[in-house]
Structure 1
Amino acid sequence: MSTLHDNSIIIDGLNISKFERSVFEDMRKGGVTAVNCTVSVWESFQKTVDNIAEMKQQIREYGEILTLVRTTDDILRAKKENKTGIIFGFQNAHAFEDNLGYIEAFKDLGVNVVQLCYNTQNLVGTGCYERDGGLSGYGREVIQEMNRVGIMVDLSHVGGKTSSEAIAASNKPVCYSHCCPSGLKEHPRNKSDEQLKEIADAGGFVGVTMFAPFLKRGPDATVEDYIEAIEYVVNLIGEDQVGIGTDFTQGYSTEFFDWITHDKGRYRQLTNFGKVVNPEGIRTIGEFPNLTAAMERAGWSETRIKKIMGENWVRVFGEVWKV
């Protein structure tokens, strides 16, 4: 592991792997300081609470390598103690149901990032795979409440119109925790130059993903192609508002992809990713140091690397979580 990687705070802005001992050990092997772990997509309020309880049990069980992140101080402590900080995140506001009171309840349980919509329509707004009706009136209240309690608004899978209205409605920075630029590849999940500038101009944040179907060369992508996507976004909005959001799905089989690509997890198929294989050089979470090394090879300054590998996320999380 390079000294630079070792001395940096490494944050993965989105990981939806099969959370179990082997994955957590790989996070340690990769030197990951903190990671936004998805604990809800299509699950109900009740099932999401079950997922959180299960994750908390694992954090206790593997306490020598894991710790729960509620504040940015917890991230810094994780770094000092050589642990990986687990940030609870949702990829859908579905679990809020129609109850604003659930938002603070989830914050109290440790939830710190919530994506408003997952691909399709919910009570808040519209996802990126159907006609976008924009943010609902209830959606505005959801954002106000998330701002109040300190949960970050994530717009990665959200439709363009709903995203624009959410960016305008939030009085705290919002993010695309995991996306790629359409400038390199056209895809419903990728964001145009205008969308990337819009979120950055509002003080928001962009986590760039390495999910191969969104990268220019798809399943043939290497870690260099991932660097190209990050560099594209940095050239557009500057190095202070960009970070990493891998979208690792480590440990999952085809059933998982069937579940996440169907509306509500069980209705119509929204998309077919084809062959899903992570870029060569960063196929597993344990290979995270290769990303820092690739940035060094690309001639990036140490300051830029440290910002993008984690410091930027820490700063923006601090702005949102502080209430």
Structure 2
Amino acid sequence: MSSLHGDSIVIDGLIIAKWDRSIFEDMKKGGLAAASCTVSVWEGFQETVNNIADMKKLVRDNAELVTLVRSTADIRQAKKDGKTGIILSFQNAHAIEDHLGNIEAFADMGVRIVQLCYNTQNLVGTGCYERDGGLSGYGREVIEEMNRCGVIVDLSHVGAHTSEEAILASKKPVCYSHCLPSGLKEHPRNKSDAELKFIADHDGFIGVTMFSPFLKRGNEATVHDYVEAFDYVINLVGDDCIGIGSDFTQGYDKGFFDWITHDKGRYRSLTKFGPVLNPEGIRTIGEFPNLTQAMEHAGWKASRIEKVLGQNWMRFYDEVWNV
């Protein structure tokens, strides 16, 4: 691990792994100071509460490796202690159900980031795989309440029209925690140049993912293709609002992808990814130092690397979480 990587606050803005001790050990190996960890996608309120309880027990049982994050001060402390800070996050507002009060309840439990929709339509708005009707009236109230409670609005899997309305409706900056540019590969989950500029122009944040089906070279990609994606976005919007959102699915098999890509209508599937292989050089969370090395290889200055590794996320978290 290079001294630059070791000294930096490294944050992954989105991991949806099969949570267990081995993942936490790999986070330590990779030098992660914090990671946004998905604890809800399709689960309703009660199942999500169960997931949060399970994750908190796992964190307690592995307290020498990880710690729960509620603030950026917690991330700094985790870095100082050689641990990884676990940020609880959702990839769908489904768990809020039709009760606005659940947002504050989840915030009190430690949830800090909620994606409005996951690929498809819910009570809040529309995902990226469906005809996009925009933000619902209830969705506007959800955003207002998330702003009040200091919960980040994430639009990664949200449709373009719903995203635009959410960006304009939110009084706090919002994010795409994990996305790629459609300028490198056309895909419903990738964001156009116009979408990327629009969120950046409204003080929003862009986490760049390495999920191979969305990368230009798919399963042939290497860590250098991942850096190319960062470069593409930085050339569009600068390097102050960019960070990592790997979308690591470590530990999961085909059954997980079948579940994650389902839709309304029993057994109805939205999309098929086929075999998913992370880019060579960063196949596991423990290989994160190779990303820093690839950034250096691409001629990035140390100041840019530090910003993209975690400084930018820290500033963004501070701005939204502090209420």
TM-score normalised over the length of structure 2: 0.99
Aligned residue in 2 for 1:283: 283
Aligned residue in 1 for 2:164: 164
Q: Conserved in 2, the CA contact under 8 Å of 1:114 and 1:152?
A: yes
Spell out, residue by residue over 1:291-319, the C-alpha distance to the aligned partner (whole angstroms, 9 max, x if none).
Answer: 00000111100000000000000000000
Letter paired with 2:130: E
Question: Which 4+ runs in 1 deviate beyond 2 A?
Answer: 264-267
Aligned residue in 2 for 1:76: 76
Spell out, residue by residue over 1:260-279, the C-alpha distance to the aligned partner (whole angstroms, 9 max, x if none).
Answer: 11115954111111220000
* In 2: Cα distance, 1:279 partner to 1:133 partner: 35
* In 1: Cα distance, 2:265 partner to 2:99 partner: 22
Percentage identity across aligned positions?
72
Q: Map 1:20-59 onto structure 2 (within 5 A).
A: 20-59=20-59
* In 1: Cα distance, 2:318 partner to 2:161 partner: 27
Aligned residue in 2 for 1:88: 88
Spell out, residue by residue over 1:97-123, the C-alpha distance to the aligned partner (whole angstroms, 9 max, x if none).
Answer: 000000000000000000000000000
TM-score normalised over the length of structure 1: 0.99
Equivalent pairs, count: 323
* In 1: Cα distance, 2:264 partner to 2:79 partner: 37
Letter paired with 2:139: G
* In 2: Cα distance, 1:280 partner to 1:164 partner: 34
Letter paired with 2:151: I
Aligned residue in 2 for 1:274: 274
Q: Map 1:76-225 onto structure 2 (within 5 A).
A: 76-225=76-225
Match of 2:87, SS state, is: strand
Letter paired with 1:315: R
* In 2: Cα distance, 1:216 partner to 1:207 partner: 17
Aligned residue in 2 for 1:311: 311
* In 2: Cα distance, 1:285 partner to 1:115 partner: 22
Query: Which 5+ residue runs of structure 2 have no aligned equivalent?
Result: none
Offset of residue 207 of structure 1? 0.1
Letter paired with 1:252: Y
Query: Which 5+ residue runs of structure 1 have no aligned equivalent?
Result: none
* In 2: Cα distance, 1:314 partner to 1:271 partner: 34
Aligned residue in 1 for 2:15: 15
* In 1: Cα distance, 2:44 partner to 2:224 partner: 39
Q: Conserved in 2, the CA contact under 8 Å of 1:259 and 1:266?
A: no
* In 1: Cα distance, 2:73 partner to 2:13 partner: 17
Letter paired with 2:43: E
Letter paired with 2:51: N
* In 1: Cα distance, 2:266 partner to 2:207 partner: 28
Is 1:3 matched with 2:3?
yes
* In 2: Cα distance, 1:197 partner to 1:173 partner: 14
